[in-house]
Amino acid sequence: MTKTRRDFTPEFKREAVALLESSGRPLMQIATELGISPSMLRNWRAVVNGGPPRSRTGSRTPSPSASPMASPADQAAEIARLRRELDRTRMERDVLKKANRHLRGDAQVRFGFIEQHARTYPVRLMCRVLQVSPSGYYAWRSRPESQRALANRRLLQEVQRLHRQHQGRYGSPRMHAALRAEGHRVSRGRVERLMRRHGIRALARRRFRPTTTDSRHQLPIAPNLLQQKFTASVPGHVWLADITYIPTGEGWLYLAAVLDLATRKVVGWSMRDHMRTELALGALIMAAQRQRPGPGLIHHSDRGSQYAAEAYARQLAAMGAKPSMSRTGCCYDNAPMESFFHSLKVELVHQRRWATREEARQDLFGYIEGYYNRQRIHSALGYLTPEEAERKAS
């Protein structure tokens, strides 16, 4: 089967360059995450910037050192005491920061943290902060480590690595699937117990509060062709579309997305400071250019004026797509799309505070194209990523 040439919209190229220049990460790494060649990203950067990017300096302005002051012996002693006290307070603060999740574990977990950091902080100070006795720690340390404990320690290191890699987004089901994919023969229950014991948790999910679209307009409404039957055997058969709101210091940033039901891949997206038809249409055009679906595609959305607009209907007709719309105020008629936006909010939006829309745009682009489509495994796909599911289907 011949490989379809990928086309990229100008918006995709601009966001890729913005991600490269704002992240501080190597060009090769960004290109790999986005699934493009380094030379392609390098060319895009040259076009966007009109030449080679300006170099950045990481120099820091040195702080002026305080001039020494002559003082009597008692003042010198007091200053030395205060400095020791300040150093001790700082160490206690640092230990608390690093041991935050270990505080939810039992004494064995805390002893493990102390052993790991014994070369950095005094043992007695860590014992006091973590509320365990030094004698208990030394008794624990003198016991020989069992084979099971050794295996758990090695498994814990892998869990912690994946937890960092996915920025705390994986709970025990996805963590178990990720470990199995890497060749670790381990049960889901063991992973769950290990994570619970060491206080490793996924990002907290907020209560699901669906928002509905204002459908009070006189534009044509399409019938609901899906009827909550969210199954598609091949890519390009059913697309789902919706709009969500992202708060920034400058006001709302609106994100329109198009999701392929078969692969759960975000095949098109658009971001604007408004939610007129142009916003939704931009996501649809990107999806059409990237995926090139055949006639008969079902396009499902809510009844919002953006999706019922004449310009949107013309684009669907030009693609040979059949429009489908949810019932009024029923978010469950577009549940997979709601699920994607919910993951986006929990795993990214609720963890950030953006001063500008541009800052939000860069992070959203990185999440969708660099993480969600290419790295995040999906339970509905048998714990494959959307990109893997698309390749498997082809």
Name the token pair of 272: 């604007």
Distances 65 to 60, 62, 68, 75, 141 between C-alpha atoms, Å: 14, 9, 9, 20, 44
Query: Residue 348: what pLDDT?
Result: 92
Alpha helices in the chain (DSSP H): 10-23, 27-34, 38-49, 73-98, 107-116, 123-130, 134-142, 147-165, 172-181, 188-197, 277-291, 305-308, 310-319, 335-347, 357-365, 386-393
**Integer Cα distance of 98 and 303 in angstroms:** 49
Q: Please report the pLDDT score of residue 61 as a whole number.
A: 40
Distance CA 347, CA 171 (A): 12
Backbone φ and ψ of 231, nearest 5°: -130, 140
The structure tokens listed for 69 are 């002051």
pLDDT score at 56: 41
Q: State the Cα–Cα distance between residues 213 and 230, nearest whole angstrom.
A: 21
Query: How many angstroms separate the CA atoms of 221 and 324, rounded?
Result: 8
How does pLDDT run across 255-300, given as a tens digit for each residue?
999 999 999 999 999 999 999 999 999 999 999 999 999 999 999 9
Q: What pLDDT score does 53 carry? A: 45
Distances (CA, A) of 114 to 109, 130, 137, 182: 9, 9, 8, 29
User: pLDDT below 50 — which residues of the chain?
Assistant: 1, 53-70, 207-212
- 304: Cβ contacts below 8 Å, ≥ 6 apart: 213, 214, 215, 243, 280
Tokens of 228: 């909550």
Which residues are bridge partners to 259 per DSSP? 240, 266
pLDDT at 297: 96
3-state SS, residue 239: strand
Q: How many CB atoms lie within 10 A of CB 297?
A: 20
Q: Distance between CA 370 and CA 364 in Å, rounded?
A: 10
User: According to the model, what pLDDT value does residue 71 have?
Assistant: 59
For the chain, the domains span 10-49, 73-142, 147-198, 238-393
pLDDT score, position 102: 66
> Residue type at 27?
L
> Regarding the domain delimited by 238-393, which CATH topology (the fold level of the hierarchy) does it fall under?
Nucleotidyltransferase; domain 5 (3.30.420)
Angle CA 120–124–128, to nearest 5: 110
Angle between helices 357-365 and 10-23 (to 10 degrees): 100
